Each structure stands twice: as C-alpha cells, then as structure tokens.
Structure 1
Amino acid sequence: MSGDLPENAAEPQVDSVSNAFPLLSYIFQSDDGEGLEDLKEQVDNLALDVTQMEGVSDVTVKGYDDRTVNIDLDRESLEENQITPDEIIQQIDQSFNPVVLGTQTEDTENIRLSFQNMPPVETFENIRVGDDDTPLTDIADIGLTTEEPEDIIAHNGEEGISFTVFLSQGEDVPSTSEDVESVVEQHTDQFDDNISVETISSERENVEEIFNGLYMSLLIALVAVIIGTSLGLSFVGSAVVMVTVILSIFIGLIPVPWMNVDLNQISVIGLIIALGILVDDSIVVNDNIERRLVEGDGKMDAMYNGVKEVAPSVIASTIAIVLAFSPLLLLSGANGEFIRALPSILIMTMLVSTVLAIILVPALRYIIPIRKVPDHAGIFGKTFTKASNLYADKLMPKFLKRPAITFTVVLVIAVLSLGLARFTPFEFFPEADRSEVTVDLLYDNGQTIEETHERANEVIDYLNDTVDNLEGATLFTGSGLPNLFGASLDQSGTHTAQLALYIDKEQMSASEVIDTYEEDLRAEFPEASIFMDTIVQGPPEGVPVTLDVYNEDLGTLEDSMETYRNALEDEGAIVTSNMGQPVDTVNYSIDEAALEEAELSISQVKNELNLLGEGIPVQEIIVEDEQIQSNMKYADEYNLEDIEIIKFSGEQPETFPLDDFVTLEETTEYQTIAHDSGDRQAAMEVYNLEEDAVSDIVSGLSEDVDGGTDTVVGGESTDQTDFFVEIGVLFAVIVVLVYLVIAFEFNSLVLPMIIVFSIFLSVSGGFIGLFVTQTPLSFMGVMGMVSLAGIVVRNAVVLIDFIELRRRSGDIDIKNAIVESGRARLRPIILTTITTIIALLPIALGGDALFEPLAVTIIAGIAFSSLLSLIVTPSLYMIYYKIKYRN
C-alpha cells in the first residue's frame, strides 16, 4: 500500500476499531488556580500504571498542551557551510539510534553489543554536520516550545485536566472499575493538597444500579415460579420442577460464552423469560405422571406412560421454540448485536430443559418414595379440578356445538385488536434515566481554540441562568468529550466544543430539558450549530436524516453538496457533513518541467516546502521524563522568496530560487475527502427536517446538479423501517419453521394451521396489553411479539396431541376425546401461563422503560392466547375433523 502512495507521503497509519467504552472519567483541578502543570508528571505516571492494568484498553488525558523540540534552521548558515537539511536529518538519526557493534556469545547465549545513548539534550548539543563538522547549534536554534492546545477543559467554570479510562471488550465492569479506582486513589493521595479530584462518570455505579434491580427481579421471578408450580402440583412434583429448572439454567449457560454473549442486561432478562417458560416441560411431564398415578398405574408404568404420552409434543414444541428464536441470531447491525443474548440463552436453556424433563423428571419421581397419591395435588388442587370439570363438562360442549361461530367470534376479536396499534404510543428506544445532557457546539472553521472556548463559556453562562435544574457542567473545547455519555465529535478541531450538563432529573428529565431549551439556545447563539442529546437505552441512535452524495469528480461533488446544503438550510434545516466546512487554503503548484530542465528532483522542492511550513519530524526524545517529538524547520523569518535550492554538482554548488518552480494559489478547500466502498462521498447530516421533506427537496434539485451525482436519503426513519422489514421477514420465517415442525410431528398439513393460529392470537394480545397500559410499542416490544411465536405454541401442541392420541386409540368418539383432552390439559396450561406471567410481572411493574414493553407484550400475549386457545383450538379441531372425516 505505501509503495502506491505519492513521493514524500507519510507512512500509512492503520487504527483498529474496538468496542472499548469509557469506564471511569475524572477531572483534576487546582483549588488555587496553580499547580496543574506541575501535576503533569504524576498524571503521566498514573496513566502508565492504569494502562498496564488487566481489563483496561486505553487511557485518555485531555487538557495538557503538547510540547515540541523545534530545530529552527538558519538558511544563510546552511548555504555558508554547504549543508543540506537531508544531511542534518541523517546525522540526527545516527546520533540518536544505537550503533550495533555485533554480537558475542556468553554461555551459549548471543548478546548484542551497542553504544549507550547519550541524554537527548546533550545529543543535540554534540551533533556536528558537514565536511567541516559544523556544530548543529551554529546553524539552528534548538528550543522547547508549546504547541497550540488540542483541548481546553473546564469543569464548573474552572480549568481542569480530564482523565478517562476505557474498558477492554468483554471485560467485567464492576471488578475492573474497583481495581482502577484503587490505583487512582493510591496516586491521587500523593497529589498536593490544592489538587481536587472529582469523578464525572462511573459506569460501575450505573451498571450496579441497573443490575441490582434486574437481579432482584430475577430472584422474585424464581420465587414466583416456585409458588406458581406449587399451586397445582404436589410438593414432590414442585420440588422436582424446581430442581430441573435450576439445573437447566446452570447447564444451559455453560456454552453461552462461546456464542459471544456476555452477562449484560439482555442476558439477565433472557434468564427471567427462560424461568417462565422452562417450567413448561417439567410441569407437563410431572402433571401427566401424577395423572397416571391417580388413574391407578403402578409406579414404573406411571413414569413410562406419563413420559411416553407427552414426549412427542414436548419435543416438537421445544424444536419449534428453538427454531422460533434462532432467526433472531441473524438480525443484522447494532440491533442484532444488542439482542443476541436473548435468543442465545433461551435456545440453550430450552434444549437442556427438554432433555432433563424427559429423563431427569421421571428418574427423580421414581426414586422419591410416594406415600400417598393425592387426588387433588397442589395448594389449589381442588380448585384446579373443579375448573377442569367446569371447562370440560359445561363450557367446551357449547364451543363444540357451534365451532364455526366460536372461531369467527374469536377471529373478529383478534383482528380488531390489531387495530389498537394505531392508538398505542411508539418509541423505538426509550431515553435512559440519566442525569447527563450533552451539547455539541460547532463554529466556523478558522476560529482559534481560545475563541471557541470563550464562546462556549458564554453558552454555559446562559444555561446556568436559564436551566433551573442544572447542577454543573464540564466543557471540552477542541476534540470534544472522550466518548462519555455516548457523545463524540466526528469532525472536531479548534472550532468545536462539547458540554456535559449535569441535571437534577427529578425536577425535569433529560429529554424535557432538550425539548425545552434546544431551540432557545440556537436562537440565542445563531453563530454556532448546536445539538443537544442524551443517552438512550439500546444501540446508539443515528442522526434524524442523512443525505449521502456521490460523485467521482471532487469539484462536482463539492458543488453538488453546496447546492443541497443551501436548499436545505433555506428550509430551516441545520446541516453538517463529514467533509466539514471549507477552510482557507494555500495550494502549491510545482512546475515539473522546469525542475527536469534544471535537473532537480521533486522531492527536493517538497522538502523545502515542508521546512517552510509545519516542518519535518525527525526524532522522539525524552525531556523531563516526557516523550516529546522533535521537529526541524526553517526559522519563521523565512518565506518562499528567501529559499534557494542547492544543487551540488562539480566544484561549485548551483543555487536555484525556489519560487522559480512553485506557484502559490489561495483558495478554499475541504479538509476531509471521504469514501464509501471506494466511491467519493459527502455524508450530510440534516436536522430540523423530516426525511420525506429532505427527499422532496433533493428530488426537486435533480436538474440543478450534475447528472453523474448520486444521492441516498436515509436516517432514523429509514433505519427503523429497515428493521421492521427485516424483523417482518424473520417473523415469517419463524412461522414457517414452526409450521413445518408441527406438520412433521402430526403428519398433517392442516393441523399445524390450527396451532399457528395461536401465534396470531398472541400478537393480538400483545397489542391489547400495550394499548391498555399505554406502554410504547418499541424495539423490545417487537422482540416480545417475536418471542411469543415460540412460547405460545406449546399449549396448542399438547392439547391437540392429547386429542389425536385419544382419537387413534378408538376407545371414545371424537367429541369425548376433545372434552377429555380439555379436562386433562387445563391444569398444565393454566400453571405454565401463571408461572410465566408471575415471573415477568417484576419487569412489567419495575418501571424500566427499556424492558417494560417486552414484559407487557409477553404477559398480555400469553394470557390472551392461552384463554382464547382454550376456546378456539377445540373448535378448530372439530371443524377440521368434520371436514376430513365427513364420510
């Protein structure tokens, strides 16, 4: 790659992109306004120690100015001593790099021999150049200078230094954070008394707060499952179910790390959902074993027959569940990464649960002594028995008498329920319950960082006066926040700044602050592009609207982008782009023909121009225990007209004025040229306009831009639409897979349609639950509906499997077979429904805006589907039977 670059181009630098995120961030300040510079060595030592810790990927320190050793060349002295800059660079390299003398062997070990390096400053003082060994200090001024700062940090109005620690991917937040905090405390204890240390961001505190609530919900769910199973199973049966569930979770979690799944919020939610549905297998097997015991089977026969009767349906429904959740592993992008833990945990634990239910449950029931078989097992055993008899003897005959009418009524109710989606609020990902609001400030290019910092402080003063619940603010002028609070700047520089506002969220939430003050802030400071934002739960959100412009010709691309920018801004939009804003630029044009005639190389000209400009980096050295870059350039008093290119040929060197070969042109250019898949691209971000409006404006300008310019309009709306299209396709795949599994189980193409209808009922129930509770339909709500496709089929599968078993035995007529199936299966259906609902209630009532839609959707979907399935499944089977066996 580097060989294809132009001559004199710097070596390419490849940066890896990681998922590291800020773990801790501190602000160091001086109480008396002095001492921060003297603190630099201690901060550097702290950064070095923390960077070397396990679990830490990087440390970022902002607020200190970079220093450089400048070697300012005296042009006249160079000509007088007939020395070229290249000779100086070569001599510096030789002086600083160790000279290897070779190797010698001692005790079969090869040892390299080299000279000891001299101290860097002394090395510069002792460098001699040219045939006459001219001291470098005679032809250049060497001094330590401070560069223009990249960042200016202020916290609550006072200058400070920011220290941010980043976590390595896959590491544990609480334990790593505690280790880092301990090391930081050891170092900061050594700081002078006038230095204050304040933590402005701690992921450990946020994670612990979230997980404490989730772990409590998990514990409540576990207790709820124990209570739920004991309602309708004997003590022995309940104990066996709980042993099976706990083992299923522990064994099922073993392979999860190899599926690239960490313990996070989604993982814990996955465990809570798993608790609710893992009991299904064990309850069905346990209940059938107890039913066989009550009917008079011997112990061994009860175990064998109890498992044999329900094993096919249990296995089939588990395969359906696995196939239902598997497509979620294929969900693309950040949304797929975010949700991957949920299907991973559910799939593994369900597979283990089924194996244990079929093997472990009868084994445990067999070895546990049975003193007496209760006629009505469970705390509410008699109640369940009465309910089963009422359902079988009173209600079911009425459904079966007019099955078509029953099905029609249920269908109408379900279809009408889908219409409630229009009256349900929508929120793709909810706002996180955080106390931070970030503010991006983008000024015109060319503004100094000091001026930007001053203007940003004016914004803070305004906010302090107007925002009632503002408790503090941190200002990062320059490159912006070090990815704190999900905020960073794509195009940063001396003209940009970011604020982190700390608010009292009890008075006004972060989103309310943004809605209340953003427009007023823009009106008060029209010279800046201002964007306020806060953290959302879930993957980072994109910009509202994006406009990607493509053209291979750079000039045409710039013209097209400006045409679109002006038209959008005329409609009140705020537009930024990955190319930034054009800046004043001086272009150097080199006359290569004149160079060839003078027998000079283009590299000589470029070196001279570099020495006139930013200079040439020559060596990294150590000054006061700090690694500093040294830079060689001509002294500031020289310009293009003062420089002559020296050509050493023959006895006397020839000189050529540099301006004979170089022409200057003042223009404006963009600093960044972006590419997308190799194509030149200008990626524009549009605020204050809807996506449809942007599309209309772009379409209306088709005749005003070059015909070779391509555009793509996107944004949050498009991303969400793409997600719903993708999840719709996956949901269709899930339904087809479930249908095929059940078709194979029953060897029928019609019976699976009866069972799949329960999926439709569950989705309708999910919309009812969201509407009644006015819970927003969100990403997690959609995930809940997809999850229902795998959860609710079991009840219908077990019910129909029981009917088919009775029908094939030929002992009773079909109506009695359906009635008896309802009598036998009502108890496990109600038990599994109750345990799932109770397990998810803590999430539904916990107030977590991210997971509440998931819990509400599953609870309502299961309740609605279970209730109506008990009505419609027998009716549909009766219709199916009458049509198939009408002769």
Structure 2
Amino acid sequence: MSPQGDRNLINNPTNNRGWATRLVYDRRMMVLIVLLVVVAGLSSVAILPRMEDPVLSKRVAIVTTQLPGADATRVEALVTEKIEDRLREIEEIKELRSQSRPGISTITIELLDAITRSDEVWSKIRGKIEDALPFLPPQASRPQFDDLEVRAFARIVSVVWNEGGEPDFSVLRRTAKNLQDRLQSLRGTETVDRFGDPGEEVLVKVDPQRAAALGLSTEDIAAQLAAYDAKDAAGTVRGRDLNLAVQVGNQFYRMDDVARADIRGADGRFVRLDQVADVSLSTPQPLPRQARHGDLPAISLGVLIRPEVRIDQWSTAADQLLADFEKELPAGLGLVEVMNQAGYVQVRLSSLVSNLAAGGLAVCVVILVLMGWRSAIVVASALPLTILTVLFAMRVLGVPVHQMSITGLIIALGLLIDNAIVMADEVRSELSEGQSPADAVSNVVRRLAVPLLGSTLTTAFAFAPIALMPGPAGEFVGSIATSVILAIFASLVFSLTVISAFAALFIRVMPERVADHSRSGFVASVSSFFQHGFTSNRLAIDYRKTLVTMFRHPKSAVSLAVVLPLAGFGVAPLLPEQFFPPADRDQFHIEVELETGSSLASTRRVAERVDEVLAGEAIEQVDWYFGESAPTFYYNIIANRRGTPNFAQAIVRTGDTEKVGAMIRRLQTRLDREVADARVLVRQLEQGPPFDAPIEIRLFGPDLDTLTSLGNRIRAVLATVPQITHTRSLLGETLPKATIDVDAQSASLAGLTPRQIADQVQMSL
C-alpha cells in the first residue's frame, strides 16, 4: 500500500469510527441530518390531524325495537329474547345488556376489547338481527340498529324560529335539511345528523260517512294502502349471463301518489283515496321530539368530520359556509351556534404547547445553572430535535395531535434530556483530559451506548403496559405512553450521534491555570459560572462525607433508603382516587326524567321550571332537547335515548371554566328541592371512557317481577346514602294502561274478534 493510501486510511474516520465520530469530521452531514429532522417535523405539524381528545373505536351499539301497548314482560318475551338468541351466536360480543320497558326493547351490544376493526363485526350483527325478524310479532317495529360514535361533533348549529307564536315545523325542517346538505358536501365532513326534528307524516283523515257509503272501515282503507305500497322486491329473474331483480312500480314517492291511490269499496267499485279522506302532509302530533334554543323552537345539526382532517382548517371553511347560508335565511328564521369544537381544541392545544414550552425553558435554565451555557445549549438542542422526530413518528403511526399525545411529550421532557446530559458531561470530561473531539466522542459512545440503551429499555417497558392496554381505556390513554416511548428512543439515538458530536465541537475546556490567571475577582466568578455552571467546594466536601458515612454503615443507609418508599405505600390509601379527572370546560349538561308515560308537554313544563332556576346563575346559553338525547358535544357522552318523551337533556354553557364545579353543586341542591317531581341530574364533563353512572349494580334472574322488586329495594337502600344524588331502577318503570275486557259472545255475534276490536280502537285513537 502506498504512503498516500496509508494517510487516507488514517485521516478518513469513516473507516473505523461510529456515526458520532463521522459527524465530528463531516459537519455538513450533521447539518443535513438536523435540517431533515426539522423539515420532517414541521411538515408533520402542518399535516397531523388536530383534535381535543382521542378517537375511540365503535365497540357499542344499540338495537331499539318498539312494540306499542305491550308491558315489559311481553316485550321481554316477544322481542328482546328473540333478538338476543340470535346475537349470542356471535363470539366477538363481550356483553349483551337489555332493557325491556313498556312498549320498547333496548339491547346494548358491547364488543370485546380486543376488537379494533369493528365494521365487519357490526355487519355480522346486522345480519343476525335480520334473521330474527320472522320471529317478531307483526305489531313490532323493525329493529333500529345504531353503532355509537364515541367522539364529539365538530360543530353543532341550530336553525331557530324567531318570529314568535307557533312555529312552522315544515319550514324549519326544510331549511335545516338544506343546511344539512350543504354541510355534508363540505370537504372533510363525514356525517351530519339532525336533532329535535319532529319529522313529517302523511295524515289520512277518513270521512266516516263517505267510507260507510262504500262499505269500508278505517281499518279496511289502511290495509289497502299498505298493500298498495309495494316496497318489497318481487323476485329475481336468473339467466345464464344475467340476474335481474324484479320490483313492482306501485310505490308511494310523493303525497300525491297517496291521494290518488285507488280504494276498492265493498261493492267492487274503485274510488280515489282523496274522495273518501283528506290527505295532507303534516307534523306528527303530539311532537315525538323537539329542540329549543333558549325559548326559541329549533332544529339542530351535528357535524362529524373525518378523523384525518385538521379541525381548524375544516372549521374555517365551515364558518364561511354558515355565514353565506345565514344571509339567505328568510325573515323569521335564524342560525345560532351551539358548540364549536375548534375553539376548545385551540385552547386545549395552546395550553399544552405552552406547558411544553415552559417545561423546556425550565430544563434549559436548570442545565445552565448546573453545567454552564455551552453545555446548556448542547443539551437543550436535544429537545426540539426529539420533539420534531416524535411528531414525524406520530404522522407515520397515525397518532393525531390531541391532549393525550401532547401530555405524553410533557411527561417525557424530564426523561428525554437525561441521555443528552450524560453524553455532554462525559464528552466534556474526555476533552478536559486532553482527548481530541473525535477520540472523546468515540470513547464516550463506546462506553455508554449499552448502559444508556438499557436505561431507555427499562423506561420503555415501564410505559409499555399503558400503550398496550386493551379496550376504550387503552385507546384513551395509550397515546401518552406511545409519545413517551417514541421520545426516549429518539433521545437515545440523537444523544449517541448528533448531540455527542455537537458537544465535542461546541464545548470548550479551558485549562485551570489559564482560567485562574486570565481573570480575577468577581469577573472570574461570573465567567466560571457561565462556563462551568454552579460549583461549591463546601457542598462537595459535605457530599463526600455523607457517602463515606453511608459506606461505613451500610445497614443504616439501606434501612433509611427503604423507610421512605414504605412510608409512601403506607399513606397511599389515604390519597383520593381519581384516574380520570373532571374536564376543564365551560359546559355541563342537565338530564331531566319524568315518570314513564309522561308526555313531551309535561317534560317541557319541567324544563321551564329548571330554566327559572338557571336564570339565577351566570349562564350564557341553554339548549334543550326533548324526547331524545342531545347531540354528542363531548366525546364520552353517548346519545342513547330515543323515543322517550319523558326525557330531556340540556347543554349549558357558562363562559367561565373556573366556576363550573361550584355552580353544578349549587344547582343540584336547588333543583332537588324545587323540582321534586322529576329526576333532575346536573352532570359535569369528565375525562375517560363513557359511562352511564359512577356506580352500577346489575341483578340477574329469570323472573322480571322478582328482579323489579329487588331493584326497588336496592334503590331504596342506596337512596339513604347522603353522598348519592339520584338512583334509578330500569325495571322499576311501569307504563299506565287501560284494559278493555271484550265480551267474547257479544263480539262473536257482531262478527268481530278481539283482534279486530283492538285494531279498530287503535285506528280511532
């Protein structure tokens, strides 16, 4: 080998050195790596979805089936058990919970925690529900299947009636549907749902005299209309190359189709329906559901956006759309905002980012005091590099920016600089012993790589159970551990490469004799402080004495080290337990529930009394929803009430997050006293997976009457506990009913069966 080749081999550090040493010689590569990390991190900040809370998988669904007029026992036997028997065949179901109440069956389906992709399972469940249809009574409605979204609407707006007097719900509904279509077409929108919409119905008011002249009853006309509207497929024509579905075209698409339907009289003559009845499109009476913004009738729209969409960008486009729509509204209608999640997301993320910045600044100040300004800059550079790398990794893994992922970065602040501190201090020690920058880096990396890796793995294993936690709780808090693990591994990689090379190039070690004679007095002290940080010979001597004493008396030292942790375990039971704290939000909600069978009008009257109590508080806005749950304005509030006229829910906004807790306690006390004829529950928003009540007791048994009795007894016992606000027994609800005793002989002489009498009574009602 030539001398020139020997010199190239010696001078080229990439032949026998590690990455950190290469970066010492090739500073352009180090700058390139830093720029690459900065670009990747900043681009991830611009692309990553932003939301307030994590998105939880859809593991819960509700199947609702109505059986009008039936008591709870008949609903259980004829509907609930038939559907449950089919659903039990699906092994992915974790739990089935059913409520058989008068006139309605509600089955709650919860999937196993291990299920992360639920769409296929829900498809199988829908098939099983379809299989149960032939076994249900003819009077039962078609089961309504709703898989519940465990996330909040990005925007809730209401179209309100400003004109006073009785509202024209057809105008409100038409306007709300128009806005719904526009919001649905907005880029990034997933679904738009209406709330407080009473719906429409085609009302056929039969003229008894005209119908009697044709020998028809109301029941006969209803049966002919049902047979005329052929919605089922007529079959399939199968050929060699093509299968053709056959469908009858006689279907009701418009109200005019109903009015022109042919009705056959008893004598065989045909007349149009509008010749024997008045046909009109109207709002159902009494109203099945309703919404009010303050005291104004309203219909609300809840907008869900796709998880991968940045809510701030979507909200800007939505603001423009709503502003344009409001200009087009006719007189008497208005548009109000119930909830805008983008504002809460911005406040939450700004608070977390400011906490992150404050933590980083505190770390830099501590390092400056203890290690000097050059070491502080070296160690502090690990913070932005690590955070930007974590953001890029979150983009690759599909982890959005929300309060949990940012909280993980805040937790990791004190952990991710440990490696950088060790490397900077060791490199400075090597340099002070006269080593060259390349040799200093090589020696330190070779000596500390394995110990630092072991330390990082230990910390990662400590957070791994949180990251791997199954179910909704794991999905909610798992991103905290994911952020921490990503941060500490990124910190390890940078500490062994960029940070160690940067330390070797940037830290300057001045010989002690030069430092002593170059300056004197106060100037020397200040210069030494900024160069090396705070030092104290007295503290060093005391620390050495302490170590010597502990080594001389090892048993006492170990005992002292064990006493403090044991004392901590001893007082741990005295600490309050609260894994998921209350949310820092200027909103809360109120649930009002009357006795089963109460009308919607009665529920509204109770809500008006609640409004009178709320008027004495500093409240900005109240939005009521009657007969159904309010839109999901917070991620863990499940909208699981439908078709319940005795139920109402209000979204209350105060404008002040600091006083919400005290206001809730004060309101609950007053409402319990002043609205004693209803169950009024003022609920604060809390973090964590959704739940119906903090304490739930479930009884199992074959006899509903026995379960009802036991439930009422347990409820009575719980009601005596001072800390319990309200109790509720689901089977304790009874629907008032009137019984008609049919004289079988008289009915037979009249040519009627009890079934026909029941149908005629239903038609007349």
5+ residue gaps, structure 2: 1-127, 516-527
Q: Does 1:23 align with 2:161?
A: no
Normalising by structure 1, what TM-score?
A: 0.59
Structure 1 residue 562, shift from structure 2 partner: 3.6
Which deviations, in whole Å up to 9, do the C-alpha atoms of 1:800-838 show, x marking residues without a partner? Answer: xxxxxxxxxxxxxxxxxxxxxxxxxxxxxxxxxxxxxxx
1:186 aligns with 2:324: yes
**Deviation string for 1:96-116 (max 9, x for gaps)?**
99999999xxxxxx9x99999
Query: How many residue pairs align between the two structures?
Result: 600
Alignment partners' CA distance in 2, 1:284 and 1:525: 65
Match of 1:577 in 2: 729
Kindly indicate whether the alpha-carbon contact (under 8 Å) linking 2:452 and 2:492 is maintained by their aligned counterparts in 1.
Answer: yes
Residues 831-872 of structure 1: per-residue CA shift (max 9 Å, x gap) = xxxxxxxxxxxxxxxxxxxxxxxxxxxxxxxxxxxxxxxxxx
Partner of 1:135: 272
Q: Where does 1:118-133 land on structure 2 (aligned, <5 Å)?
A: 120-128=254-262, 133=270
Q: 1:400 aligns with which of 546, 551, 559?
A: 551
Letter in 2 for 1:189: K
Q: 2:181 is paired with a residue of what secondary structure?
A: helix
The CA distance in 2 between the partners of 1:609 and 1:293, in whole Å, is 102
1:27–1:170 CA distance, 2 compared to 1 (3 A)? same
Say whether residues 1:525 and 2:675 are aligned partners: yes
Structure 2: distance between partners of 1:260 and 1:79: 69
1:70 and 2:203 are equivalent in the alignment: yes
Describe the shift of the 1:541–1:555 C-alpha distance in structure 2 as closer, same or farther (beyond 3 A): closer
Return the alpha-carbon distance in structure 2 between the equivalents of residues 161 and 344 of structure 1. 41
Whether 1:6 aligns to 2:136 is yes
Displacement of 1:527 in angstroms is: 1.1
Opposite residue 20 of structure 1, the aligned amino acid is R
2:301 corresponds to which letter in structure 1? Answer: F
Partner residue of 1:52?
Answer: 185
The residue aligned with 1:93 is 230
In 2, Cα distance between the equivalents of 1:550 and 1:242?
Answer: 60
Q: Distance in 2 between matches of 1:571 and 1:298?
A: 74
1:142–1:192 CA distance, 2 compared to 1 (3 A): closer
Structure 1: distance between partners of 2:150 and 2:308: 9
User: Structure 1 176/155 Cα, relative in aligned 2: closer, same or farther at 3 Å?
Assistant: same
Q: Distance in 2 between matches of 1:401 and 1:31?
A: 86
CA deviation profile, 1:506-534 (whole Å, cap 9, x unmatched)? 8x822222323423321222211121112
Is 1:484 the counterpart of 2:630 in the alignment? Answer: no
Task: From the superposition, tell whether residues 387 and 292 of structure 1 become closer, same or farther in structure 2 (CA, over 3 Å).
Answer: farther
Structure 1 pair 13–500 and aligned structure 2 pair: CA distance change class (3 A): closer
> How is 1:93-112 mapped onto 2 (pairs within 5 angstroms)?
93=230
Task: Provide the rounded CA distance (Å) in 1 between the counterparts of 2:160 and 2:221.
Answer: 47
Structure 1's unaligned 5+ residue stretches are 104-109, 592-596, 615-633, 638-887
Aligned match of 2:33: none
| Partner residue in 2 for 1:862 | none
Matched letter for residue 596 of structure 2: N
| SS of alignment partner, residue 253 of structure 1 | helix
Q: SS at 1:69's partner residue?
A: strand
Q: Residue 458 of structure 1: which of 583, 589, 609 is its match?
A: 609
Which of 359, 362, 365 is equivalent to 1:221? 359
Query: Does residue 212 of structure 1 match 2:350?
Result: yes
CA contact (8 A) 2:373 2:530 kept: no
Instruction: Give the equivalent residue in structure 1 for 2:82.
Output: none
2:710 corresponds to 1:560: yes
Provide the C-alpha distance between the structure 2 equivalents of 1:239 and 1:297, rounded to a whole number of angstroms.
21
Once the two structures are TM-superposed, the CA of residue 53 in structure 1 deviates from its matched residue by 2.9
Q: 2:448 aligns with which of 310, 320, 329?
A: 310
CA contact (8 A) 1:285 1:357 kept: yes
Cα gap change, 1:430 to 1:504, in 2 (>3 Å):
same
Q: State the 1:324 CA deviation.
A: 0.9
Task: State the alpha-carbon separation in 1 of the partners of residues 739 and 308 from structure 2.
Answer: 47
Q: After the TM superposition, which residues 379-390 of structure 1 pair with which residues of structure 2 at under 5 Å, given as runs? A: 379=530, 381=532, 383-384=534-535, 386=537, 389-390=540-541
Instruction: Confirm or deny: 8 A CA contact 2:359 2:410 kept in the other structure.
Output: yes
Which residue is equivalent to 1:41? 174
Tell me, yes or no, if the aligned pair for 1:101 and 1:113 is still in contact at 8 Å.
Answer: no
Q: What displacement does 1:538 show? A: 4.2
Partner of residue 159, structure 1: 297
Q: Is the 8 A contact 1:252 1:349 kept in 2?
A: yes
Partner of 2:8: none
Q: Work out whether 1:345 is the aligned partner of 2:475.
A: no
C-alpha distance after superposition, 1:282-317 (max 9, x if no partner): 221222122112112233332221112222211110
- Cα displacement (A) at 1:448: 1.7
Give the Cα–Cα distance (whole angstroms) in 2 for the partners of residues 135 and 36 of structure 1. 29
User: For residues 291 and 78 of structure 1, do their structure 2 counterparts lie closer, same or farther at Cα, with a shift above 3 Å needed?
Assistant: farther
1:284 corresponds in structure 2 to: 422
SS of 2:595's equivalent in the other structure is: coil
Contact 1:261 1:341 in 2 (8 A): yes
Answer whether contact 2:606 2:675 (CA < 8 A) is retained: no
Kept in 2: contact 1:446–1:583 (CA 8 A): yes
Structure 2 CA distance for aligned equivalents of residues 529 and 330 of structure 1:
40
Please report how far the alpha carbon of residue 344 of structure 1 lies from its aligned counterpart in structure 2 after TM superposition. Answer: 0.3
- Paired position in structure 2 for 1:475: 624
Q: Following the alignment from structure 1 to structure 2, what is the Cα–Cα distance between the partners of residues 116 and 6?
A: 27
- Greater shift, 307-316 or 133-142, is seen at 133-142
2:563 partner amino acid: V
Q: Quick one: distance in 2 between partners of 1:505 and 1:234?
A: 44
Give deviations 1:254-285, integer Å, cap 9, x for gaps. Answer: 34356563211121121123232211112212
Once the two structures are superposed, the pairs formed by residues 245-644 of structure 1 within 5 Å of their partners are 245-257=383-395, 261-364=399-502, 368=505, 379=530, 381=532, 383-384=534-535, 386=537, 389-390=540-541, 393-421=544-572, 427-464=578-615, 467-484=616-633, 490=640, 493-503=644-654, 505=656, 509-540=659-690, 543-566=693-716, 568-569=718-719, 574-579=726-731, 581-585=733-737, 612=760, 634=763, 636=764
Secondary structure in structure 1 of the residue aligned to 2:329: coil
**Whole-angstrom CA distance in 2 between matches of 1:122 and 1:97:** 23
Identify if the C-alpha distance between structure 1 residues 589 and 359 changes in structure 2 by more than 3 Å, giving closer, same or farther. farther
Contact persistence 1:101–1:114 (CA under 8 A): no
Question: Would you say the 8 A contact 2:408–2:479 is kept in 1?
Answer: yes
Offset from partner CA, 1:638-683 (integer Å, 9 cap, x none): xxxxxxxxxxxxxxxxxxxxxxxxxxxxxxxxxxxxxxxxxxxxxx
Distance 1:139 1:471, change over 3 A: closer
Q: Is this contact kept in 2: 1:289–1:307, CA < 8 A?
A: no
Secondary structure in structure 1 of the residue aligned to 2:698: strand
Q: What secondary structure is seen at the aligned counterpart in 2 of 1:150?
A: coil
Change beyond 3 A, Cα 1:123–1:162:
closer
What is the Cα-based RMSD across aligned positions, in Å? Answer: 4.5
Closer, same or farther: CA 170–550 of 1 in aligned 2, 3 Å: farther
Name the residue aligned to 1:851: none
In the TM superposition, residue 210 of structure 1 has moved relative to its aligned partner by 1.8
Equivalent residue number for residue 146 of structure 1: 283
Query: What is the CA-CA distance between 1:45 and the residue it aligns to?
Result: 0.5
Cα distance in 2 for residues equivalent to 1:235 and 1:571:
61
Residue 328 of structure 2 aligns to a residue in which SS?
coil
- 1:163 to partner: Cα distance: 3.4
CA 610–374 in structure 1, closer or farther in 2 if over 3 Å, else same? farther
